[in-house]
Amino acid sequence: MAGPGAVSPDLAWHTIFEPFRIKAVEPIPLLTRAQRESALEAAGHNLFKLPATAVTIDLLTDSGTGALSATQQAALLLGDESYAGGRSFQQFERVVQRLTGYPYVFPVHQGRAAERILARVDLKPGDLVVSNTLFDTTRANIEQAGAIGLDLPVSSSRVPSDRSPFKGDLNVDELVRLLTAQRPKFVILTITNNAAGGQPVSMANIAAVSACCHAVGIPMLLDAARFAENAWFVHEREPGWGDTSIPAIARAAFDLADGCLLSAKKDGISHIGGLFATRDPVLAEKFRNELILGEGFPTYGGLAGRDLSCIAVGLEEALDPDYLRYRARSVAYFAEGLQRAGIPVVEPPGGHAVFCDAGALLPHLSPDELPGQALAAALYLEGGVRGVEIGRLMFPHASLQLVRLALPRRVYTQSHVDYVIEVAERVARRAGDIPGYRIVEEPAFLRHFSAVMAVIPPTTPGHSASPPPAPSPAG
Ligand code: F0G
């Protein structure tokens, strides 16, 4: 047997199966097409507004949707609910310090709470924050503080068919150019790069960005929601890292940074929670004071003690190479099936989701006719599959029109994935008939969560799969 965190011998001759068995199950809602049609209508055609009871396979997010292990369930029972200095906090702090090497560790109720506090204590109007790609709530929190978020992704990230192994990287040439003229407040590297297709960031890129930042005295932070999946891709794809254990790879990334924001709802495999950790005692003090104002005492930070214990176990389980091999293989299997079904996807598949290229599948729709929304709605109507649009609806200036189908951790089996592929194949066969959407009502920011939409009637010229009839000579 391989020791903890070590990578087990090559098992390439057999199917990579789920490295767990299931001991609690939950029924899945099965609906008729008519029921789905009325549910979508009632939701203003916005998949975020559907009740989960109307969703058969829920691939909206991998966030907070994972299945707990028996060890995590046990940890929940052992949780210490002391207001201050509880055992669960000590366990959480120990695990995070060992994982990251950062001495100051603060729990928060979820990742965006850490983003909001950091933005409040460290940013002022006009400040600049640079990233490979900021997640939507991170950007919104930065902008809420009057600061500016600037994404500098590598150019391969904009080409869905480009099979480069680390399309999550930050464009270092552009960063160097920018640093000659401007001084960002800090740089955030998102690992893996969710908004850019769940693509990993190479260790070489983390090191290069770290060196650039430190040469001019700017902190580099990691948005480390999917730190374990990123470490797996470094292990598999980056020359020189194949013999290093997954925890050691993860630690090498944290070593290059000055602190991290981390949503524990992803690679913490927990239903709620997040954290901020740093080496900087001054920033830690400011963060602690703001934390008390909004989240709670620093040894629970908006969570119950049992949540802290659950996250501590989850953060370590996520580093298991057998689990990560299965996880990456599940996503790749899903992507291969969707491609066979005729759905173009972002390549190579990322760590937590398959990103379908709705713009390429539905060329009869302009980006403003929301092809991502159109594909997401079609997948729901066809088979009750819920994904999320990542295109013009979510980001009004997005150049790629994608639908993310995220796999919750340890939740769905291979036959669930096969079913989704069958649904996608039926959708792909009549892609030319799928109508576009327009926004009828939208809020001031993060509009994708609550916008109301309407179908653009497919009778408009240019939308019909068949050309309009030629005018008759008789007029
Ligand atoms: N950073 C990244 C890279 C994320 O993907 C998310 C959440 C957050 C920060 C915020 O964390 O949800 O705990 O407040 N992403 C989810 C998703 C919501 O569906 O991708 P949170």
Of 256-270, 273-287, 449-463, minimum mean pLDDT range: 449-463
The CATH number corresponding to 70-317 among 2.40.70.10, 3.40.50.300, 3.40.640.10, 3.40.720.10 equals 3.40.640.10
* Residue 468 reports pLDDT greater than 80: no
Mean pLDDT of the chain: 93
Catalytic residue flag (residue 448):
yes
Mean pLDDT of 264-273: 98
Q: List the residue whose alpha carbon is closest to atom 2 of ligand 1.
A: 135
Tell me, using a 6 A CB cutoff, whether residue 135 lines ligand 1.
yes
Q: Per-residue b/e over 425-462, b at no fewer than 16 CB within 10 Å?
A: bebbeebeebbbbebeebeeeebbeebebebbeeeeee
Tell me, using a 6 A CB cutoff, whether residue 225 lines ligand 1.
yes
Q: How confident is the model at residue 1 (pLDDT cuts 50, 70, 90)?
A: very low
Q: Residue 22 has what pLDDT?
A: 95
Catalytic residue flag (residue 225):
yes
Fold of 33-62+320-455: Aspartate Aminotransferase, domain 1 (3.90.1150)
62-71: pLDDT as tens digits:
999 999 999 9
| Residue 17 DSSP class | -
Tell me, using a 6 A CB cutoff, whether residue 274 lines ligand 1.
yes
CB-CB contact of 317 with 226 (8 Å): no
Q: How confident is the model at residue 87 (pLDDT cuts 50, 70, 90)?
A: very high
Q: Which residue among 109, 266, 270 is best mutated to probe the pocket of ligand 1, counting the most ligand atoms within 8 A of its Cβ?
A: 266
Q: Residue 467 has what pLDDT?
A: 40
By DSSP bridging, strand 437-441 and strand 402-406 are unpaired
Q: Which residue among 48, 63, 261 is best mutated to probe the pocket of ligand 1, counting the most ligand atoms within 8 A of its Cβ?
A: 63
Nearest to 309, CA basis, from 69, 114, 116:
69
Task: Kindly name the residue from 223, 258, 267, 307 that is annotated as catalytic.
Answer: 223
Q: Count Cβ atoms below 10 Å from residue 49 Cβ, excluding itself.
A: 15
Q: Is 204 exposed, middle or buried (0-12, 13-18, 19+ CB in 10 A)?
A: middle
Give the relative orientation of helices 87-100 and 246-256 as an angle to the nearest 10 degrees.
80
Q: Where in the chain is the domain with CATH 3.40.640.10?
A: 70-317
Catalytic residue flag (residue 135):
yes
Q: Where in the chain is the domain with CATH 3.90.1150.10?
A: 33-62+320-455
Mean pLDDT of 30-35: 98
Q: Which residue among 115, 118, 263, 390 is best mutated to probe the pocket of ligand 1, counting the most ligand atoms within 8 A of its Cβ?
A: 263
Mean pLDDT of 77-86: 97
Q: How confident is the model at residue 460 (pLDDT cuts 50, 70, 90)?
A: low
Mean pLDDT of 450-464: 76
Task: Kindly name the residue from 89, 92, 104, 135 that is annotated as catalytic.
Answer: 135
Tell me, using a 6 A CB cutoff, whether residue 58 lines ligand 1.
no
Q: How confident is the model at residue 410 (pLDDT cuts 50, 70, 90)?
A: very high
For the CA of 192, the closest atom of ligand 1 is: 3
433-449: pLDDT as tens digits:
999 999 999 988 788 99
Q: Residue 425 has what pLDDT?
A: 98
98-121: pLDDT as tens digits:
999 999 999 999 999 999 999 999
Residue 256 CA, distance from chain mean position: 22
Q: How confident is the model at residue 25 (pLDDT cuts 50, 70, 90)?
A: very high
